[in-house]
Structure 1
Protein backbone atom coordinates (compact mmCIF):
# COMPACT_ATOMS: atom_id res chain seq x y z
CA UNK A 1 0.00 0.00 0.00
CA UNK A 2 1.28 3.45 -0.87
CA UNK A 3 2.02 6.00 1.84
CA UNK A 4 -1.03 8.14 1.01
CA UNK A 5 -3.38 5.16 1.09
CA UNK A 6 -1.90 4.01 4.40
CA UNK A 7 -2.54 7.45 5.89
CA UNK A 8 -6.15 7.39 4.69
CA UNK A 9 -6.80 3.95 6.17
CA UNK A 10 -5.09 4.84 9.46
CA UNK A 11 -7.20 7.97 9.74
CA UNK A 12 -10.41 6.01 9.26
CA UNK A 13 -9.76 2.87 11.32
CA UNK A 14 -10.87 3.36 14.92
CA UNK A 15 -10.29 1.28 18.06
CA UNK A 16 -9.32 -2.32 17.36
CA UNK A 17 -12.03 -4.91 17.76
CA UNK A 18 -14.94 -2.66 16.76
CA UNK A 19 -17.57 -4.00 14.39
CA UNK A 20 -17.02 -3.26 10.69
CA UNK A 21 -20.52 -1.81 10.64
CA UNK A 22 -20.05 0.43 13.64
CA UNK A 23 -20.66 3.80 12.03
CA UNK A 24 -23.32 2.39 9.72
CA UNK A 25 -25.70 2.45 12.70
CA UNK A 26 -26.97 5.99 12.23
CA UNK A 27 -29.98 5.83 14.56
CA UNK A 28 -29.86 7.04 18.14
CA UNK A 29 -29.44 3.87 20.19
CA UNK A 30 -28.71 3.51 23.93
CA UNK A 31 -24.98 2.87 24.21
CA UNK A 32 -25.45 -0.37 26.13
CA UNK A 33 -27.28 -1.92 23.15
CA UNK A 34 -25.23 -0.50 20.27
CA UNK A 35 -22.75 -3.36 19.90
CA UNK A 36 -25.49 -5.98 20.33
CA UNK A 37 -27.49 -4.40 17.52
CA UNK A 38 -24.44 -4.00 15.29
CA UNK A 39 -23.51 -7.66 15.62
CA UNK A 40 -27.06 -8.99 15.31
CA UNK A 41 -27.70 -6.66 12.36
CA UNK A 42 -25.53 -8.86 10.14
CA UNK A 43 -27.40 -12.12 10.80
CA UNK A 44 -28.82 -12.30 7.27
CA UNK A 45 -28.99 -10.03 4.20
CA UNK A 46 -32.53 -8.83 4.96
CA UNK A 47 -31.57 -7.47 8.40
CA UNK A 48 -29.35 -4.41 8.79
CA UNK A 49 -28.28 -2.70 12.03
CA UNK A 50 -30.51 0.30 11.29
CA UNK A 51 -33.54 -1.85 10.52
CA UNK A 52 -33.08 -3.87 13.72
CA UNK A 53 -32.62 -0.68 15.76
CA UNK A 54 -35.75 0.82 14.19
CA UNK A 55 -37.74 -2.30 15.03
CA UNK A 56 -36.62 -2.31 18.67
CA UNK A 57 -37.31 1.41 18.96
CA UNK A 58 -40.81 0.92 17.56
CA UNK A 59 -41.56 -2.19 19.60
CA UNK A 60 -40.39 -1.06 23.05
CA UNK A 61 -38.39 2.18 22.78
CA UNK A 62 -35.43 0.01 23.88
CA UNK A 63 -37.11 -0.87 27.18
CA UNK A 64 -36.01 -4.39 28.22
CA UNK A 65 -38.84 -4.58 30.79
CA UNK A 66 -41.64 -3.59 28.37
CA UNK A 67 -44.82 -5.66 28.47
CA UNK A 68 -47.78 -5.05 26.18
CA UNK A 69 -51.47 -5.44 27.12
CA UNK A 70 -51.62 -8.59 24.98
CA UNK A 71 -48.60 -10.15 26.70
CA UNK A 72 -45.65 -9.33 24.44
CA UNK A 73 -42.47 -9.21 26.49
CA UNK A 74 -39.10 -7.49 26.58
CA UNK A 75 -37.11 -5.20 24.34
CA UNK A 76 -38.17 -7.10 21.18
CA UNK A 77 -41.74 -7.73 22.34
CA UNK A 78 -41.85 -11.50 21.86
CA UNK A 79 -45.10 -13.29 22.60
CA UNK A 80 -44.38 -16.18 25.02
CA UNK A 81 -45.22 -18.84 22.41
CA UNK A 82 -42.93 -17.21 19.83
CA UNK A 83 -40.13 -16.91 22.36
CA UNK A 84 -40.52 -20.57 23.25
CA UNK A 85 -39.99 -21.49 19.58
CA UNK A 86 -37.41 -18.90 18.54
CA UNK A 87 -35.66 -17.51 21.63
CA UNK A 88 -31.96 -18.36 21.93
CA UNK A 89 -29.35 -18.27 24.68
CA UNK A 90 -27.19 -15.83 22.80
CA UNK A 91 -24.91 -14.86 25.70
CA UNK A 92 -24.24 -18.47 26.70
CA UNK A 93 -25.25 -18.13 30.34
CA UNK A 94 -27.42 -21.27 30.23
CA UNK A 95 -30.77 -19.44 30.10
CA UNK A 96 -33.03 -18.20 27.30
CA UNK A 97 -34.26 -15.02 28.94
CA UNK A 98 -36.75 -12.84 27.04
CA UNK A 99 -36.10 -10.00 29.50
CA UNK A 100 -32.33 -10.02 28.84
CA UNK A 101 -31.35 -7.88 25.81
CA UNK A 102 -28.26 -10.04 25.31
CA UNK A 103 -30.64 -12.88 24.44
CA UNK A 104 -33.62 -10.95 23.08
CA UNK A 105 -31.82 -8.75 20.52
CA UNK A 106 -29.97 -11.61 18.75
CA UNK A 107 -33.16 -13.69 18.99
CA UNK A 108 -35.10 -10.92 17.29
CA UNK A 109 -32.60 -10.79 14.41
CA UNK A 110 -32.61 -14.59 14.09
CA UNK A 111 -36.42 -14.66 14.06
CA UNK A 112 -36.52 -11.93 11.40
CA UNK A 113 -34.19 -14.03 9.26
CA UNK A 114 -36.35 -17.10 9.77
CA UNK A 115 -39.52 -15.37 8.63
CA UNK A 116 -37.63 -13.69 5.76
CA UNK A 117 -37.02 -17.21 4.43
CA UNK A 118 -40.68 -18.14 4.99
CA UNK A 119 -41.86 -15.27 2.76
CA UNK A 120 -38.89 -15.22 0.37
CA UNK A 121 -41.01 -16.19 -2.64
CA UNK A 122 -43.72 -13.58 -1.97
CA UNK A 123 -43.69 -10.73 -4.52
CA UNK A 124 -42.56 -7.27 -3.41
CA UNK A 125 -39.85 -5.83 -1.19
CA UNK A 126 -38.20 -8.55 0.90
CA UNK A 127 -37.60 -6.38 3.96
CA UNK A 128 -41.14 -4.99 3.91
CA UNK A 129 -42.62 -8.49 3.65
CA UNK A 130 -40.36 -9.66 6.48
CA UNK A 131 -41.51 -6.80 8.74
CA UNK A 132 -45.14 -7.46 7.85
CA UNK A 133 -44.66 -11.11 8.78
CA UNK A 134 -43.04 -10.09 12.10
CA UNK A 135 -46.18 -8.09 12.88
CA UNK A 136 -48.98 -10.13 11.31
CA UNK A 137 -47.47 -13.56 10.73
CA UNK A 138 -45.96 -15.25 7.70
CA UNK A 139 -49.28 -16.88 6.85
CA UNK A 140 -50.99 -13.53 6.36
CA UNK A 141 -48.18 -12.25 4.11
CA UNK A 142 -48.38 -15.39 1.99
CA UNK A 143 -52.17 -15.27 1.90
CA UNK A 144 -52.26 -11.72 0.55
CA UNK A 145 -49.16 -11.97 -1.62
CA UNK A 146 -47.39 -9.17 0.26
CA UNK A 147 -48.17 -6.76 3.08
CA UNK A 148 -51.69 -7.64 4.35
CA UNK A 149 -54.45 -5.03 4.11
CA UNK A 150 -54.35 -4.41 7.85
CA UNK A 151 -53.92 -0.75 8.83
CA UNK A 152 -51.83 -1.69 11.87
CA UNK A 153 -49.43 -3.82 9.82
CA UNK A 154 -49.17 -1.27 7.01
CA UNK A 155 -48.40 1.49 9.49
CA UNK A 156 -45.91 -0.76 11.31
CA UNK A 157 -43.96 -1.54 8.14
CA UNK A 158 -43.97 2.09 7.01
CA UNK A 159 -42.85 3.42 10.42
CA UNK A 160 -39.93 1.01 10.77
CA UNK A 161 -38.81 1.44 7.16
CA UNK A 162 -38.91 5.23 7.40
CA UNK A 163 -37.00 5.20 10.68
CA UNK A 164 -34.37 2.75 9.40
CA UNK A 165 -33.81 4.84 6.27
CA UNK A 166 -33.57 8.24 7.91
CA UNK A 167 -30.61 10.29 6.69
CA UNK A 168 -27.38 10.34 8.62
CA UNK A 169 -26.18 13.60 10.11
CA UNK A 170 -25.30 16.08 7.40
CA UNK A 171 -28.39 15.40 5.26
CA UNK A 172 -26.87 12.79 2.94
CA UNK A 173 -28.83 9.52 2.78
CA UNK A 174 -25.80 7.44 3.72
CA UNK A 175 -27.84 5.21 6.01
CA UNK A 176 -30.17 4.31 3.14
CA UNK A 177 -27.24 3.62 0.80
CA UNK A 178 -25.53 1.38 3.38
CA UNK A 179 -28.77 -0.44 4.20
CA UNK A 180 -29.40 -1.13 0.50
CA UNK A 181 -25.89 -2.55 0.08
CA UNK A 182 -26.14 -4.54 3.32
CA UNK A 183 -29.29 -6.25 2.05
CA UNK A 184 -27.26 -7.53 -0.91
CA UNK A 185 -24.50 -9.18 1.16
CA UNK A 186 -24.07 -12.75 -0.07
CA UNK A 187 -25.15 -11.92 -3.63
CA UNK A 188 -22.74 -13.43 -6.21
CA UNK A 189 -20.23 -11.35 -8.13
CA UNK A 190 -21.17 -11.03 -11.79
CA UNK A 191 -18.96 -9.16 -14.27
CA UNK A 192 -21.17 -6.42 -15.74
CA UNK A 193 -24.03 -7.41 -13.43
CA UNK A 194 -26.39 -5.20 -11.48
CA UNK A 195 -28.29 -2.00 -12.15
CA UNK A 196 -30.62 0.42 -10.40
CA UNK A 197 -33.24 -2.33 -10.06
CA UNK A 198 -30.97 -4.86 -8.35
CA UNK A 199 -28.94 -7.95 -9.32
CA UNK A 200 -28.86 -8.96 -12.99
CA UNK A 201 -26.95 -11.26 -15.28
CA UNK A 202 -23.72 -9.74 -16.49
CA UNK A 203 -21.60 -9.87 -19.63
CA UNK A 204 -18.28 -11.11 -20.98
CA UNK A 205 -15.51 -10.67 -20.16
CA UNK A 206 -13.35 -9.42 -17.31
CA UNK A 207 -9.63 -8.72 -17.91
CA UNK A 208 -8.95 -12.23 -16.60
CA UNK A 209 -11.55 -13.75 -18.93
CA UNK A 210 -14.42 -14.27 -16.48
CA UNK A 211 -17.96 -13.94 -17.85
CA UNK A 212 -21.00 -12.86 -15.87
CA UNK A 213 -23.39 -13.91 -18.60
CA UNK A 214 -24.80 -16.83 -16.62
CA UNK A 215 -24.49 -15.30 -13.12
CA UNK A 216 -27.15 -13.08 -11.58
CA UNK A 217 -25.49 -10.60 -9.26
CA UNK A 218 -23.37 -7.45 -9.10
CA UNK A 219 -19.97 -6.25 -10.09
CA UNK A 220 -18.44 -3.51 -7.94
CA UNK A 221 -19.94 -0.53 -9.78
CA UNK A 222 -23.26 -2.29 -10.36
CA UNK A 223 -23.68 -2.55 -6.59
CA UNK A 224 -23.03 1.16 -6.10
CA UNK A 225 -25.44 2.06 -8.93
CA UNK A 226 -28.13 0.03 -7.15
CA UNK A 227 -27.47 1.43 -3.66
CA UNK A 228 -27.43 5.06 -4.79
CA UNK A 229 -30.60 4.62 -6.83
CA UNK A 230 -32.32 4.12 -3.46
CA UNK A 231 -31.65 7.79 -2.64
CA UNK A 232 -32.50 9.13 -6.08
CA UNK A 233 -28.93 9.49 -7.35
CA UNK A 234 -28.21 8.03 -10.79
CA UNK A 235 -24.55 6.99 -10.98
CA UNK A 236 -22.66 6.28 -14.20
CA UNK A 237 -21.89 2.61 -14.79
CA UNK A 238 -18.12 2.27 -14.33
CA UNK A 239 -15.99 2.92 -11.25
CA UNK A 240 -13.85 5.53 -13.06
CA UNK A 241 -16.96 7.37 -14.28
CA UNK A 242 -18.40 7.29 -10.75
CA UNK A 243 -15.26 8.91 -9.37
CA UNK A 244 -15.52 11.65 -12.00
CA UNK A 245 -19.14 12.24 -10.91
CA UNK A 246 -18.18 12.53 -7.23
CA UNK A 247 -16.55 15.09 -4.96
CA UNK A 248 -13.40 13.90 -3.11
CA UNK A 249 -13.68 14.09 0.69
CA UNK A 250 -10.96 14.33 3.31
CA UNK A 251 -10.54 11.48 5.84
CA UNK A 252 -11.98 13.61 8.64
CA UNK A 253 -15.13 14.27 6.62
CA UNK A 254 -15.86 10.71 5.46
CA UNK A 255 -19.37 9.43 6.22
CA UNK A 256 -21.13 6.09 5.76
CA UNK A 257 -22.31 5.78 2.18
CA UNK A 258 -19.31 7.54 0.65
CA UNK A 259 -17.57 5.69 -2.19
CA UNK A 260 -14.10 4.15 -1.85
CA UNK A 261 -12.04 4.01 -5.06
CA UNK A 262 -8.99 1.95 -6.06
CA UNK A 263 -6.53 2.54 -8.90
CA UNK A 264 -3.30 4.23 -9.86
CA UNK A 265 -4.93 7.35 -11.28
CA UNK A 266 -8.36 8.91 -11.74
CA UNK A 267 -8.63 7.43 -15.22
CA UNK A 268 -7.24 4.08 -14.05
CA UNK A 269 -9.73 3.42 -11.23
CA UNK A 270 -10.74 -0.24 -11.36
CA UNK A 271 -12.73 -0.88 -8.16
CA UNK A 272 -15.26 0.86 -5.94
CA UNK A 273 -16.91 0.04 -2.60
CA UNK A 274 -19.32 1.70 -0.14
CA UNK A 275 -17.82 2.97 3.12
CA UNK A 276 -19.59 1.77 6.27
CA UNK A 277 -17.26 2.90 9.05
CA UNK A 278 -14.22 1.94 11.11
CA UNK A 279 -12.07 1.30 8.03
CA UNK A 280 -14.53 -1.10 6.36
CA UNK A 281 -16.66 -1.07 3.23
CA UNK A 282 -19.24 -3.21 1.45
CA UNK A 283 -18.17 -4.27 -2.03
CA UNK A 284 -18.56 -6.85 -4.77
CA UNK A 285 -14.89 -7.89 -4.79
CA UNK A 286 -14.16 -10.15 -7.77
CA UNK A 287 -15.34 -13.21 -9.75
CA UNK A 288 -16.02 -16.22 -7.55
CA UNK A 289 -16.78 -14.10 -4.46
CA UNK A 290 -19.97 -12.60 -3.04
CA UNK A 291 -20.90 -9.10 -1.91
CA UNK A 292 -19.30 -8.73 1.51
CA UNK A 293 -17.68 -6.49 4.13
CA UNK A 294 -14.05 -5.79 3.22
CA UNK A 295 -11.36 -3.75 5.01
CA UNK A 296 -10.21 -0.65 3.14
CA UNK A 297 -6.73 -2.14 2.78
CA UNK A 298 -8.11 -5.17 0.92
CA UNK A 299 -6.32 -3.76 -2.16
CA UNK A 300 -2.94 -1.98 -2.18
CA UNK A 301 -3.92 0.93 -4.44
CA UNK A 302 -6.60 2.87 -2.56
CA UNK A 303 -6.92 6.06 -4.59
CA UNK A 304 -9.41 8.07 -2.55
CA UNK A 305 -12.87 8.47 -1.09
CA UNK A 306 -15.52 10.62 -2.73
CA UNK A 307 -19.19 11.57 -2.37
CA UNK A 308 -21.47 11.48 -5.43
CA UNK A 309 -22.99 14.78 -6.48
CA UNK A 310 -26.59 14.95 -5.28
CA UNK A 311 -29.25 15.04 -7.99
CA UNK A 312 -32.07 14.90 -5.47
CA UNK A 313 -32.43 16.26 -1.95
CA UNK A 314 -32.98 13.48 0.53
Structure 2
Protein backbone atom coordinates (compact mmCIF):
# COMPACT_ATOMS: atom_id res chain seq x y z
CA UNK A 1 0.00 0.00 0.00
CA UNK A 2 2.22 2.75 -1.32
CA UNK A 3 -0.12 5.50 -2.40
CA UNK A 4 1.17 7.70 0.39
CA UNK A 5 4.68 7.83 -1.08
CA UNK A 6 3.62 9.55 -4.29
CA UNK A 7 6.59 8.00 -6.10
CA UNK A 8 5.51 5.62 -8.86
CA UNK A 9 7.19 5.49 -12.25
CA UNK A 10 5.07 5.95 -15.37
CA UNK A 11 5.11 3.80 -18.50
CA UNK A 12 4.13 4.35 -22.11
CA UNK A 13 0.60 4.14 -23.42
CA UNK A 14 1.30 0.98 -25.45
CA UNK A 15 2.58 -0.90 -22.40
CA UNK A 16 -0.42 0.28 -20.42
CA UNK A 17 -2.84 -1.15 -22.98
CA UNK A 18 -1.04 -4.52 -23.01
CA UNK A 19 -0.91 -4.81 -19.23
CA UNK A 20 -4.50 -3.66 -18.83
CA UNK A 21 -5.63 -6.31 -21.29
CA UNK A 22 -3.77 -9.03 -19.40
CA UNK A 23 -5.28 -7.96 -16.09
CA UNK A 24 -8.79 -7.58 -17.47
CA UNK A 25 -8.56 -11.14 -18.81
CA UNK A 26 -7.77 -12.61 -15.40
CA UNK A 27 -10.66 -14.60 -13.91
CA UNK A 28 -12.66 -12.83 -11.23
CA UNK A 29 -13.23 -14.83 -8.07
CA UNK A 30 -16.48 -14.55 -6.20
CA UNK A 31 -17.03 -13.80 -2.56
CA UNK A 32 -17.45 -16.85 -0.37
CA UNK A 33 -14.73 -18.77 -2.22
CA UNK A 34 -12.55 -21.03 -0.10
CA UNK A 35 -8.88 -20.37 0.60
CA UNK A 36 -6.88 -22.67 -1.67
CA UNK A 37 -3.51 -20.91 -1.58
CA UNK A 38 -0.87 -22.19 0.79
CA UNK A 39 -0.44 -19.74 3.70
CA UNK A 40 1.16 -20.00 7.15
CA UNK A 41 -1.20 -22.01 9.35
CA UNK A 42 -1.44 -19.29 12.01
CA UNK A 43 -3.00 -16.87 9.49
CA UNK A 44 -5.38 -19.28 7.75
CA UNK A 45 -8.48 -18.63 9.89
CA UNK A 46 -7.87 -14.86 9.88
CA UNK A 47 -7.59 -14.78 6.09
CA UNK A 48 -10.58 -17.03 5.52
CA UNK A 49 -12.79 -14.82 7.71
CA UNK A 50 -11.47 -11.43 6.55
CA UNK A 51 -11.46 -12.61 2.93
CA UNK A 52 -15.24 -12.43 2.81
CA UNK A 53 -15.63 -8.85 4.05
CA UNK A 54 -17.17 -7.62 0.78
CA UNK A 55 -17.91 -9.10 -2.67
CA UNK A 56 -14.68 -7.81 -4.24
CA UNK A 57 -12.44 -9.49 -1.63
CA UNK A 58 -11.84 -13.23 -1.50
CA UNK A 59 -9.59 -15.29 0.80
CA UNK A 60 -7.25 -16.10 -2.08
CA UNK A 61 -7.03 -12.46 -3.17
CA UNK A 62 -6.30 -11.33 0.39
CA UNK A 63 -3.68 -14.06 0.84
CA UNK A 64 -2.03 -13.10 -2.46
CA UNK A 65 -1.97 -9.44 -1.41
CA UNK A 66 -0.33 -10.24 1.94
CA UNK A 67 2.24 -12.43 0.19
CA UNK A 68 2.96 -9.63 -2.27
CA UNK A 69 3.16 -6.94 0.39
CA UNK A 70 5.32 -8.67 3.00
CA UNK A 71 5.70 -12.38 2.32
CA UNK A 72 3.59 -12.83 5.50
CA UNK A 73 6.22 -11.05 7.59
CA UNK A 74 4.64 -9.64 10.75
CA UNK A 75 7.53 -7.24 11.36
CA UNK A 76 8.14 -6.28 7.74
CA UNK A 77 9.08 -2.69 6.98
CA UNK A 78 9.68 -0.94 3.69
CA UNK A 79 12.18 1.78 2.74
CA UNK A 80 9.33 4.28 2.56
CA UNK A 81 7.93 3.42 6.00
CA UNK A 82 5.18 0.86 5.31
CA UNK A 83 4.68 -1.42 8.31
CA UNK A 84 3.58 -4.91 9.20
CA UNK A 85 2.13 -7.87 7.36
CA UNK A 86 -0.18 -5.68 5.25
CA UNK A 87 2.37 -2.86 4.77
CA UNK A 88 0.21 0.02 5.95
CA UNK A 89 1.72 3.48 5.75
CA UNK A 90 1.36 5.16 9.18
CA UNK A 91 -1.04 7.79 7.86
CA UNK A 92 -3.23 5.15 6.23
CA UNK A 93 -3.23 3.03 9.38
CA UNK A 94 -4.21 6.03 11.46
CA UNK A 95 -7.32 6.45 9.31
CA UNK A 96 -8.20 2.87 8.41
CA UNK A 97 -6.65 0.59 11.03
CA UNK A 98 -9.15 -1.25 13.25
CA UNK A 99 -9.01 -3.06 16.59
CA UNK A 100 -10.25 -6.30 15.07
CA UNK A 101 -9.32 -8.55 18.00
CA UNK A 102 -10.97 -6.18 20.51
CA UNK A 103 -7.97 -6.00 22.83
CA UNK A 104 -8.29 -2.24 23.25
CA UNK A 105 -5.62 -1.10 20.78
CA UNK A 106 -5.12 -0.84 17.04
CA UNK A 107 -1.74 -2.46 16.40
CA UNK A 108 -0.32 -2.40 12.87
CA UNK A 109 2.21 -5.08 13.90
CA UNK A 110 -0.49 -7.48 15.09
CA UNK A 111 -1.86 -9.68 12.26
CA UNK A 112 -5.13 -10.04 14.18
CA UNK A 113 -5.65 -6.32 13.59
CA UNK A 114 -3.72 -5.81 10.36
CA UNK A 115 -5.26 -8.59 8.25
CA UNK A 116 -8.91 -7.61 8.91
CA UNK A 117 -7.88 -3.95 8.47
CA UNK A 118 -6.39 -4.74 5.07
CA UNK A 119 -9.60 -6.48 4.00
CA UNK A 120 -11.75 -3.61 5.23
CA UNK A 121 -9.52 -1.06 3.51
CA UNK A 122 -9.76 -3.04 0.27
CA UNK A 123 -13.55 -2.83 0.58
CA UNK A 124 -13.32 0.92 1.22
CA UNK A 125 -11.29 1.58 -1.92
CA UNK A 126 -13.50 -0.82 -3.89
CA UNK A 127 -16.44 1.41 -3.01
CA UNK A 128 -14.42 4.49 -3.97
CA UNK A 129 -13.81 3.16 -7.49
CA UNK A 130 -17.02 1.18 -8.03
CA UNK A 131 -18.10 3.43 -10.92
CA UNK A 132 -14.76 3.20 -12.74
CA UNK A 133 -14.93 1.06 -15.92
CA UNK A 134 -13.16 -2.28 -16.02
CA UNK A 135 -12.61 -5.20 -13.68
CA UNK A 136 -13.66 -4.28 -10.15
CA UNK A 137 -11.07 -6.42 -8.35
CA UNK A 138 -8.24 -5.07 -10.49
CA UNK A 139 -9.37 -1.47 -9.93
CA UNK A 140 -9.62 -2.16 -6.19
CA UNK A 141 -6.06 -3.51 -6.05
CA UNK A 142 -4.80 -0.57 -8.10
CA UNK A 143 -6.49 1.81 -5.66
CA UNK A 144 -4.95 -0.04 -2.69
CA UNK A 145 -1.52 0.50 -4.23
CA UNK A 146 -1.75 3.88 -5.95
CA UNK A 147 -4.78 5.51 -4.35
CA UNK A 148 -8.42 5.77 -5.38
CA UNK A 149 -7.83 9.19 -6.96
CA UNK A 150 -5.34 7.77 -9.46
CA UNK A 151 -7.75 5.03 -10.54
CA UNK A 152 -10.54 7.56 -10.94
CA UNK A 153 -8.29 9.95 -12.85
CA UNK A 154 -7.19 7.35 -15.40
CA UNK A 155 -10.50 5.50 -15.63
CA UNK A 156 -8.95 2.22 -14.47
CA UNK A 157 -5.50 0.90 -13.59
CA UNK A 158 -3.21 3.93 -13.83
CA UNK A 159 -0.20 3.85 -16.19
CA UNK A 160 2.32 3.30 -13.38
CA UNK A 161 4.66 0.35 -13.83
CA UNK A 162 4.68 -0.49 -10.12
CA UNK A 163 0.88 -0.53 -9.90
CA UNK A 164 0.46 -2.54 -13.09
CA UNK A 165 2.91 -5.19 -11.87
CA UNK A 166 1.28 -5.15 -8.44
CA UNK A 167 -2.19 -5.84 -9.81
CA UNK A 168 -1.28 -8.53 -12.28
CA UNK A 169 1.02 -10.32 -9.82
CA UNK A 170 -1.69 -10.53 -7.14
CA UNK A 171 -4.34 -11.57 -9.66
CA UNK A 172 -2.06 -14.29 -11.05
CA UNK A 173 -1.24 -15.69 -7.62
CA UNK A 174 -4.85 -15.50 -6.45
CA UNK A 175 -5.89 -17.54 -9.50
CA UNK A 176 -3.34 -20.31 -8.83
CA UNK A 177 -5.24 -23.63 -8.84
CA UNK A 178 -5.55 -25.41 -5.51
CA UNK A 179 -3.82 -28.43 -7.02
CA UNK A 180 -0.66 -26.39 -7.51
CA UNK A 181 0.71 -26.48 -4.00
CA UNK A 182 3.94 -28.47 -4.48
CA UNK A 183 7.30 -26.97 -5.32
CA UNK A 184 9.07 -28.14 -8.45
CA UNK A 185 10.98 -31.37 -7.93
CA UNK A 186 14.68 -31.87 -8.69
CA UNK A 187 13.69 -33.91 -11.73
CA UNK A 188 11.45 -31.15 -13.04
CA UNK A 189 14.20 -28.59 -12.42
CA UNK A 190 16.69 -30.71 -14.38
CA UNK A 191 14.25 -31.00 -17.27
CA UNK A 192 13.78 -27.22 -17.29
CA UNK A 193 17.53 -26.63 -17.35
CA UNK A 194 17.99 -29.04 -20.28
CA UNK A 195 15.19 -27.31 -22.19
CA UNK A 196 16.74 -23.89 -21.60
CA UNK A 197 20.22 -25.09 -22.59
CA UNK A 198 18.89 -26.25 -25.95
CA UNK A 199 17.85 -22.63 -26.59
CA UNK A 200 21.34 -21.17 -26.06
CA UNK A 201 22.00 -18.80 -28.95
CA UNK A 202 18.31 -18.07 -29.64
CA UNK A 203 17.73 -14.32 -30.20
CA UNK A 204 16.16 -12.12 -27.56
CA UNK A 205 12.68 -10.96 -28.57
CA UNK A 206 10.70 -8.51 -26.41
CA UNK A 207 7.47 -10.36 -25.53
CA UNK A 208 8.66 -13.46 -27.37
CA UNK A 209 8.42 -17.09 -26.35
CA UNK A 210 5.67 -19.36 -25.08
CA UNK A 211 5.16 -22.93 -23.90
CA UNK A 212 5.77 -24.19 -27.44
CA UNK A 213 9.10 -22.44 -27.95
CA UNK A 214 10.44 -19.26 -29.58
CA UNK A 215 7.92 -16.86 -31.08
CA UNK A 216 7.75 -13.35 -32.44
CA UNK A 217 7.32 -10.70 -29.77
CA UNK A 218 5.63 -7.34 -29.42
CA UNK A 219 6.46 -3.64 -29.23
CA UNK A 220 7.91 -2.04 -27.23
CA UNK A 221 10.56 -2.41 -24.53
CA UNK A 222 11.18 0.50 -22.10
CA UNK A 223 13.88 1.69 -24.49
CA UNK A 224 11.61 1.41 -27.52
CA UNK A 225 12.89 -1.90 -28.92
CA UNK A 226 10.36 -4.14 -30.65
CA UNK A 227 10.27 -7.92 -30.81
CA UNK A 228 7.60 -7.95 -33.52
CA UNK A 229 10.14 -8.90 -36.19
CA UNK A 230 12.31 -11.22 -34.06
CA UNK A 231 11.60 -14.88 -33.30
CA UNK A 232 12.98 -15.76 -29.90
CA UNK A 233 12.49 -15.33 -26.17
CA UNK A 234 12.39 -12.59 -23.60
CA UNK A 235 13.49 -13.51 -20.08
CA UNK A 236 10.15 -14.78 -18.78
CA UNK A 237 9.24 -16.37 -22.11
CA UNK A 238 12.34 -18.56 -21.76
CA UNK A 239 11.55 -19.64 -18.20
CA UNK A 240 7.90 -20.25 -19.10
CA UNK A 241 8.99 -22.50 -22.00
CA UNK A 242 11.62 -24.38 -20.00
CA UNK A 243 9.25 -25.22 -17.17
CA UNK A 244 6.43 -26.12 -19.56
CA UNK A 245 8.73 -28.89 -20.77
CA UNK A 246 8.87 -30.05 -17.13
CA UNK A 247 5.09 -30.11 -16.81
CA UNK A 248 4.81 -26.84 -14.90
CA UNK A 249 2.73 -23.91 -16.11
CA UNK A 250 4.21 -20.51 -15.22
CA UNK A 251 2.52 -17.11 -15.68
CA UNK A 252 3.84 -14.93 -18.49
CA UNK A 253 5.80 -12.11 -16.82
CA UNK A 254 8.75 -12.13 -14.43
CA UNK A 255 6.74 -10.42 -11.68
CA UNK A 256 3.90 -12.93 -12.06
CA UNK A 257 6.36 -15.81 -11.99
CA UNK A 258 7.81 -14.53 -8.72
CA UNK A 259 4.31 -14.33 -7.26
CA UNK A 260 3.72 -17.97 -8.29
CA UNK A 261 6.99 -19.24 -6.77
CA UNK A 262 8.28 -19.98 -3.28
CA UNK A 263 11.08 -17.60 -2.14
CA UNK A 264 14.11 -19.47 -0.80
CA UNK A 265 16.77 -18.92 1.85
CA UNK A 266 20.41 -19.07 0.64
CA UNK A 267 20.95 -22.60 1.95
CA UNK A 268 17.89 -23.90 0.12
CA UNK A 269 18.85 -22.83 -3.42
CA UNK A 270 19.43 -25.56 -6.00
CA UNK A 271 19.81 -25.73 -9.81
CA UNK A 272 16.56 -25.03 -11.62
CA UNK A 273 15.38 -22.35 -9.22
CA UNK A 274 14.41 -18.99 -10.70
CA UNK A 275 16.57 -15.92 -10.14
CA UNK A 276 14.67 -12.62 -9.94
CA UNK A 277 15.90 -9.03 -10.27
CA UNK A 278 14.22 -5.82 -9.08
CA UNK A 279 13.76 -3.63 -6.03
CA UNK A 280 10.52 -5.21 -4.79
CA UNK A 281 7.97 -7.84 -5.84
CA UNK A 282 6.14 -5.22 -7.88
CA UNK A 283 9.24 -3.97 -9.70
CA UNK A 284 10.75 -7.32 -10.76
CA UNK A 285 11.99 -6.88 -14.32
CA UNK A 286 14.18 -9.92 -15.09
CA UNK A 287 14.34 -13.66 -14.42
CA UNK A 288 16.79 -16.44 -15.19
CA UNK A 289 17.22 -20.15 -14.39
CA UNK A 290 19.94 -20.98 -11.85
CA UNK A 291 22.30 -23.77 -12.98
CA UNK A 292 24.73 -23.82 -10.03
CA UNK A 293 28.07 -22.26 -9.18
CA UNK A 294 26.67 -18.73 -9.26
CA UNK A 295 25.55 -19.01 -12.91
CA UNK A 296 22.22 -18.96 -14.68
CA UNK A 297 20.70 -19.24 -18.15
CA UNK A 298 18.75 -16.19 -19.26
CA UNK A 299 17.55 -14.10 -22.17
CA UNK A 300 19.19 -10.84 -21.10
CA UNK A 301 18.09 -7.97 -23.34
CA UNK A 302 17.23 -6.85 -26.89
CA UNK A 303 20.13 -7.40 -29.26
CA UNK A 304 21.50 -10.33 -27.22
CA UNK A 305 20.88 -14.08 -27.25
CA UNK A 306 19.93 -16.73 -24.70
CA UNK A 307 23.16 -17.42 -22.84
CA UNK A 308 24.91 -18.25 -19.58
CA UNK A 309 25.32 -15.29 -17.24
CA UNK A 310 26.70 -14.90 -13.70
CA UNK A 311 24.03 -14.18 -11.10
CA UNK A 312 25.68 -10.83 -10.32
CA UNK A 313 25.30 -9.66 -13.94
CA UNK A 314 22.74 -7.17 -12.55
CA UNK A 315 23.13 -5.23 -9.31
CA UNK A 316 19.51 -5.61 -8.14
CA UNK A 317 19.26 -9.36 -7.48
CA UNK A 318 16.06 -9.58 -5.43
CA UNK A 319 15.34 -13.23 -4.72
CA UNK A 320 15.75 -16.83 -5.76
CA UNK A 321 12.48 -18.76 -5.74
CA UNK A 322 11.20 -22.22 -6.65
CA UNK A 323 8.25 -22.57 -9.06
CA UNK A 324 5.07 -24.07 -7.66
CA UNK A 325 4.08 -27.15 -9.61
CA UNK A 326 0.86 -27.00 -11.61
CA UNK A 327 0.16 -29.46 -14.37
CA UNK A 328 0.53 -28.33 -17.97
CA UNK A 329 -0.16 -30.24 -21.16
CA UNK A 330 3.57 -30.85 -21.61
CA UNK A 331 5.21 -33.91 -20.04
TM-score by length of 2: 0.45
Could you say which structure has the greater relative contact order, defined with CA pairs below 8 angstroms and 6 or more residues apart? 1
TM-score by length of 1: 0.47
